Chain A
């Protein structure tokens, strides 16, 4: 044995020891594993990747992503002054535990599953409440989806969960398509009448395999209570003919290419409740009830991939597969290893959404700046070596504007006072409860949020494109709602600015309130120049200073 081989043996031995030792020191945290798959540590990658975002940018970004609004001025101060080395981790954990986080996920998943369609049978308030409660107790994704796909609307306790199916009226083309898109990441719509013309992977049997879970179900309206629920027949097969080739096919329920789920032998009496006029029929064997099981079954990898891809897109601004519902061989994930890691980890961690978001937020990838260095080329979006801009959702935009202008704080203040006055004994204590605060504020300001959703929300298919329309710009530019928030009142932003004399102070307060950061020298000078010009009408001058900041690109995007 020469010297080199001895070295090799020693190295190998150390390596083996190290690997064997690993469990003792716990596994490498998921966020580090993610980073190394993105390219962290790779010299070439590091050279081109943008720098870590500064504390203020990180605070704004993660507060928007996890709680749906920008931070308050106090929060910005506190975070910037915090000297602890793990303050980002602490922040992420604090945000994830807040009532605002459950609200943010309520908005996010409501939009994802119901796509801002108009209410039909289940009032949106009940459904949203159900979602929010689920997220505040961190209900695992598979459990949540199981509830949503198995509720039939007859039990008051689980009725809100039935909104996904009931509000689509069990219509095959809507339910089937949306099951594929929302839960499996595959828009099979064009495979309804024929194998997809452009996508080789989308077959007519995939569409009809999903449809077969529901083709025996129907919308039942109780003539007495007028309530809608789901009834089901014991028979009914799915067969289809291609409008192109006239080929015929048959399928039992199935998840894409997973095996068909055969019906058990038909019993002599196939019904628990027989079909009759004004009666909701219930079969002994329900195909519909197989849906929730098959969807959340561990073998259904598409279901797991879909949710990690959507959570990744929520945090990083772009899915590993993009568009989120166009998963097929010609549109593969940009980073398959990373996708596998996330999918496995989701399974291992029992579909824990909060944990997944936590690990994503802790990555270097998430915490990068959205600025590329001077002279550097802007890298491919799929490399995730620079943070991508994320347009604020209508809800994020509304809450952030209310936060920035001081409306949130002003409203909370008066809500607290009212509660304390109304309940002299416990009122004050109650108002200290973050849950009470979140709900009271939400109720008080929800009409403003609705106004933004009406203007900025898009009904139907989600796309990753950002689009702005003239109506939206007119709403921001001239709409009375935003203008009313600019009028100085109590302790709102313009009232605070009015009290300040020096333009430097005004710039500081403005930037901290609206952009959640300190202004730089040039920005201070810019504010000073503007104030100088508009001195004659300082009232409007300050208001429109705030307006210009609110209507700016920096405010419109999470960056």
Chain B
């Protein structure tokens, strides 16, 4: 039982964490600034999204909104960050040194404690109904027409398959990667060589040419485009199979999340529009502190390295970074040292494209039990993400004869967060 560790060991690990935090702070400023050469590259880059989804509900108290020394604060301390006056949990020492690239929203109230409802609300910006996910919207409005990759790629190691595109259509639905494994059916069928494969595809096009004469093209074009996209993915098969460089693995970590984030980086570098990486396992009803120690321990350094790389490559200015969950965790600690579901007062972190860095939006009360200032919900956040990306979220989707408001018309963006 790896997760069910005794107190002694917890103490031991804590000490180690403190050491690491100290070591990291020494590195501030080195290699974190974008080089001027990269600035040129940014121009003309299309906007994109990196979503890091901490599935299950990360504890705001053990991450972005620590309350050390209070009734529900838990055992961890708050540490200073690269933004003067901003403190986050000591479980995120690497991230703490990069907070000048990020901002925190501490005053989210979703009014739901249900995994499914919270997740859908955070993705769709609506409490109910068939609406597209942020990733599908990005795919629809941001992906270049000649894109080499599908607009919305989700790297995850588990099931959950939603209808993410709603009325935006199948081509904007998430293409799911099971970890770093390439998508299904990427390889030519057994027994077929390249020549035969190329010939059959050519034959297919020959059939189509005759059929297309004197007929409307829109539907056949969409069908044919899916084959072109499939071929592009197949052409990049080696890209999925290429093992990451040892140096990168050392920095990101050899665990699944490290590998998945390396793949995310590669995808973003290759002009993917929205890449979502799910880090599973934050539903800590028991042993919340051990859980977070371990989970965030894995998350922190990997995320920090990814952030560094995007920044150094000049990608951060065109990439919206979202670190989010479906809700947070109860301030009250239950009898199993766990924290339960809590959509009432929790936090997320945002950064990159269109986001004012180094800001803290809203706050919770002293014990962290309620929002004390600037309450927002997923509807407001949704407008914020989209406007950061330059999408007018108050406009409409114009789909096949219907106009559907892109964001919830009763919610607005968090203006002070927009750069």
Contacts and interface: CB of A to CB of B under 8 A. Distances in A.
Interface of A: 171, 173-174, 177, 187, 189-190, 193-194, 197-198, 243-244, 322-323, 326, 331, 370-374, 376, 378, 381, 388-389, 391, 458-461, 463-475, 477-480, 483, 522-523, 526, 530, 533-534, 537, 540-541, 544-545, 547-549, 551-554, 556-557, 559
10 contacts: A193-B410, A370-B215, A460-B130, A461-B167, A465-B169, A466-B222, A468-B222, A470-B183, A474-B233, A544-B199
Given A467-B170, A526-B206, A552-B204, 14 more contacts: A174-B128, A244-B409, A244-B410, A381-B216, A389-B219, A459-B163, A460-B166, A466-B218, A469-B171, A469-B175, A478-B234, A545-B200, A551-B227, A553-B223
A463 B400 contact: yes
A189 B400 CA distance: 17
A478 B163 contact: no
Interface string B222-239: 111111011001100000
A473 B203 CA distance: 16
Q: Which 10 A-B pairs have CB atoms at the shortest separation, nearest pair first?
A: A467-B169, A468-B226, A473-B230, A459-B163, A552-B207, A467-B170, A544-B200, A548-B203, A474-B185, A473-B226
A192 to B, nearest CB: 8
Contacts of A459: 162-163
Interface residues of B, number: 64
Contacts of A370: 215
Contacts of A190: 404-405
A537 B173 contact: no
Contact of B402 (A173, A326, A551): A326
B403 interface: yes
B266 to A, nearest CB: 18
A523 B175 contact: no
A358 to B, nearest CB: 27
B206 to A, nearest CB: 6
B170 A469 contact: yes
Contacts of A552: 204, 207-208, 211
Contacts of B218: 466
B128 A465 contact: no
A197 B211 CA distance: 42
A557 B204 contact: no
Interface stretch (B34-42, B187-195, B242-250, B346-354): B187-195
A478 B230 CA distance: 10
B213 interface: yes
Given A323-B401, A468-B222, A469-B170, A559 B230 contact: no
B150 A523 contact: no
A258 to B, nearest CB: 24
A166 to B, nearest CB: 18
Contacts of A526: 206
A177 B129 CA distance: 9
B220 interface: yes
B30 interface: no
Nearest to A530: B203
Contacts of B188: 478
A547 B219 CA distance: 20
B210 interface: yes
Contacts of A523: 210
Given A323-B400, A469-B150, A548-B200, A477 B227 contact: yes
A231 to B, nearest CB: 22
B163 A468 contact: no
A327 to B, nearest CB: 11
Contacts of B150: 469-470
Of A189, A331, A471, A478, the most chain B CB neighbours within 10 A belong to A471
A557 B185 CA distance: 23
Contacts, number: 186
A221 to B, nearest CB: 17
B233 A470 contact: yes
A59 B219 CA distance: 22
A481 B349 CA distance: 44
Contacts of B163: 458-460
Contacts of A187: 402
Contacts of B165: 458, 467
B185 to A, nearest CB: 4
A402 B50 CA distance: 41
A474 B401 CA distance: 30
A478 B203 contact: no
Contact of A473 (B187, B207, B227): B227
A189 B170 CA distance: 22
B147 to A, nearest CB: 11
Nearest to B176: A471
Contact of B175 (A189, A194, A470, A554): A470
B196 interface: yes
A371 B200 contact: no
B196 A458 contact: no
A478 B207 contact: no
A307 to B, nearest CB: 20
B399 interface: yes
Contacts of B184: 471, 474-475, 479
A323 B166 CA distance: 14
Contacts of B128: 171, 173-174
B203 A468 contact: no
B117 to A, nearest CB: 11
A472 B175 CA distance: 10
Contacts of B162: 459
A467 B187 contact: no
A223 B317 CA distance: 56
A551 B170 contact: no
B192 A553 contact: no
A478 B186 contact: yes
Contact of B219 (A372, A376, A557): A557
Nearest to A371: B214
B214 A474 contact: no
Contacts of B223: 391, 466, 468, 553, 556
A198 B406 CA distance: 12
B212 interface: yes
B396 interface: yes
Nearest to B206: A526
Nearest to B202: A548
Given A461-B130, A466-B219, A478-B185, A540 B191 contact: yes
Contacts of A475: 184-185
A450 to B, nearest CB: 14
B176 to A, nearest CB: 8
Given A472-B170, A548-B204, A559 B226 contact: no
Nearest to A557: B219
Contact of A465 (B175, B189, B227, B400): B400
A2 B127 CA distance: 78
Given A197-B409, A326-B401, A370-B215, A474 B186 contact: yes
A389 B220 contact: yes
Interface in B256-312: none
A372 B214 contact: yes
B166 A461 contact: yes
B226 A469 contact: yes
B208 A553 contact: yes
